[in-house]
Amino acid sequence: MTTPYPFTALVGQADLQLSLLLNAVSPAIGGVLVRGEKGTAKSTAVRALTALLPGVNVVPGCRFSCDPAAPDPACPDGPHEDTGAAESRPARMVELPVGASEDRLVGALDIERALSEGVKAFEPGLLADAHRGILYVDEVNLLHDHLIDLLLDAAAMGASYVEREGVSVRHASRFLLVGTMNPEEGELRPQLLDRFGLTVEVAASRETDERVEVVRRRLAYDDDPEGFAARWAADERELREQIAAARELLPRVRLGDAALRQIAATCAAFEVDGMRADLVMARTATAMAAWAGRTEVESADVRQAALLALPHRRRRNPFDAPGLDEDKLDRTLEENAGQDEGGPEPEGPDDDGPDDGGPGGGPEGGGGLPPQGAPQDEARPEQAEPSVPEQAGPERSEQAAQPPSAQDTTGGEPDPGAPAPPQQAAAPAGEPFKARTLTVPGLGEGAAGRRSRARTAHGRTTGARRPQGALDKLHLAATVQAAAPHQHARGRRGSGLVVRRDDLREAVREGREGNLVLFVVDASGSMAARQRMGAVKGAVLSLLLDAYQRRDKVGMVTFRRGDAEVALPPTSSVDAAAARLESLPTGGRTPLAAGLLRAREVLRVERLRDPARRPLLVTVTDGRATGGPEPLVRARQAARLLAADGTASVVVDCEAGHVRLGLARELAAELGGSAVTLDELRADAVTELVRTTTDSRNRRTTGSRSAGRAGRAA
């Protein structure tokens, strides 16, 4: 077995270490989500924690790791007799691969034996293996949503339920859940973020001495893992004993009314949804006190709990920056500080408490990690907030007027003989809105999502077929229908149904898939005319938000002046696309053909990487083409190439004014897609259009009936 890197040898990740240790003391906190850039010791820290956890006693032969002192009465391997026998083993760390199936996670039932023999043949999954240990999910944001739902449900309830075609199995599943993710690869939905107890933002240190120490220790570990671990053995043993002591002290920690009031006031002040944040803060503050060796929760414990439990619960959409206003937090705690009845007055946030989130001790200075080469309070990297566009709102200043440029009266483009106009400043995006649903026609088989129709593992049943490999979802009616004609030949006796493997049919289901939404944005001078770019950016921002909610990948190609560029390669991070959009400059001619050809190349490469994910091309333009020789002809040729590739397209027509040339709609026809105006892109505009059309049709019908009755009466 590979020697793990010592937990106490980590440098500069104090918040990460503290959050893991608090969950080791009190798994009821609900786990940790570690967000950060690659190469920041996220996985190393989780694996190192496993060696610190106390060993567990299990019932001999039980596949579900039942505790001999309190075995699970519903254990599938039970009931367990009270023989007093027990086996001791180290705590496990179970890793959930990104590509794991549902059966691998929750376990699998042998449906054939269940139908033919009437027995529950259950093969435990990873949730059973992780019971009383750690379940580690690397790149949790890349898991399918239904797997994350199953995972978090089990973590919240402490049990896993497997139900298939009337056969049900339940087993205990209590574990420390740790997920890691790189936000650049996409965000988790807010509903899933809320299910993680704590969250930590990690980043590599920018201090030279600290980076040197990290490299020095890592090289020493790689050269001699056993020798390096031996040098830290005493520190590891001391920390392991402290975890055990904190676990023993935890039931005796008192959470007073003053601390409870501070917790409730803090959650209310930061407008978090629901009550889960209050519960997580209470459990975290209690674990903080136990970790510091105290039996009373103090204000400093509440403050640290808020810094770990609230930041990820404040995000309303992917464009909101993470983090917590610590000045506001301190004011809230101070305003709600009080004295418990019969207890000491809690300390304020300015006392000598752990203000940096490190495990280096509580308010009394005790209970810290062993000293390291680099002090923990100096080693903590500053949490850099990603540069994301601010949410547009009423408080936003009016869009700055665009500087005038030499434009002709038809295309808004500069004269060829005139010098190139200066690059115009990036226009701020308009306020986003709920966009209408754009879909890819046909039936796909891509990644699970919420946009276009697809054959998926989850959804409504539309038919049945013979299993292609292992049986996934049994179609009971089709199985019985296939087995029924053969019962006489199989010597059927009594009322039982003899089912063989050839009779099994699996359900064919239809659900929704996520697509690749590639935006092709016209950033030329004609788009900047009449300050249209702010409205255009607001529309694209709305479509990005819609793509986030529907679990799409997004990319962006922009074209202006003489060429087109890939502003954002296809990614799952819509906030990265929003940041690129916010800083998008405008000006120059309109090389429409170059933009379409560049988009075609991006789609060609992406089709090789992920053939199952179908693309949706969203071209945002007024349809003018003025860049290069024969610009309009070349643009139409490029559009026909995309149509020949079978690319689903939508053109967002940005043309404004009383005189309209209709070039965007002509482009949509060449692409074989549809065209919508900025106003028609709004979901409420579609609803209003349907209502108006329906009312008009009803009035015409009513009028015709009235005229008919009047004619018959005459």
Using the predicted structure, report yes or no on whether residue 406 has a pLDDT greater than 60: no
Q: Please provide residue 103's backbone torsions phi and psi, each rounded to the nearest 5 degrees.
A: -65, -35
Amino acid 20: pLDDT: 94
Amino acid 349: pLDDT: 42
Distance of CA 179 to the CA centre of its chain: 11
Confidence bin at 394 (pLDDT 50/70/90): very low
Amino acid 414: pLDDT: 46
Distance CA 133, CA 653 (A): 56
Per-residue pLDDT tens over the stretch 489-512: 877 666 667 888 888 888 888 888
Average pLDDT, integer, range 60-77 = 87
Helices (H), 440-504: 476-483
Distance CA 670, CA 681 (A): 20
Structural tokens at position 183: 């936000």
Nearest to 334 by CA among 289, 302, 294: 302
Amino acid 682: pLDDT: 87
Pairing type for strands 648-653 and 674-677 reads parallel
Using the predicted structure, report yes or no on whether residue 443 has a pLDDT greater than 70: yes
Least confident of 10-14, 289-293, 431-435, 592-596: 431-435
Distance CA 426, CA 402 (A): 9
Least confident of 306-320, 567-581, 628-642: 306-320
Q: Domains in the chain, start-ordered, CATH in brackets?
A: 1-76+84-205+221-251 (3.40.50.300), 253-363 (1.10.8.80), 453-513 (no CATH), 516-681 (3.40.50.410)
Amino acid 544: pLDDT: 86
Distance CA 597, CA 671 (A): 12
- Which range among 41-55, 177-191, 390-404, 567-581 has the greatest average pLDDT? 41-55
Least confident of 103-117, 259-273, 630-644: 103-117
Distance CA 330, CA 662 (A): 58
Confidence bin at 227 (pLDDT 50/70/90): very high
- What is residue 627's DSSP assignment? S
Query: Rounded to the nearest 10 degrees, how much is the dihedral formed by the CA atoms of 189, 192, 194, 197?
Result: -140
Amino acid 382: pLDDT: 39
Secondary structure class of 179 (helix, strand, coil): strand
Structural tokens at position 306: 């808020």
Query: DSSP strand E in 118-263: where?
Result: 122-123, 134-138, 159-164, 167-172, 176-181, 198-202
Secondary structure class of 209 (helix, strand, coil): helix
Kindly name the residue from 195, 276, 313, 314 that is annotated as catalytic.
276
Distance CA 171, CA 206 (A): 47
**Does residue 6 contact residue 236 with C-beta atoms inside 8 Å?**
yes
Average pLDDT, integer, range 179-183 = 85
Average pLDDT, integer, range 114-139 = 81
Average pLDDT, integer, range 40-49 = 86
Nearest to 381 by CA among 349, 359, 350, 358: 358
Amino acid 230: pLDDT: 93
Using the predicted structure, report yes or no on whether residue 436 has a pLDDT greater than 80: yes
Q: Residue written as tokens 């770019």?
A: 533
**Does residue 583 contact residue 541 with C-beta atoms inside 8 Å?**
no
Distance CA 175, CA 173 (A): 6
Least confident of 83-97, 446-460, 666-680: 446-460
Average pLDDT, the chain: 79
State yes or no: is 396 an active-site residue: no
Distance of CA 392 to the CA centre of its chain: 23
Per-residue pLDDT tens over the stretch 650-695: 999 988 767 678 899 999 999 999 999 988 888 765 444 334 444 5
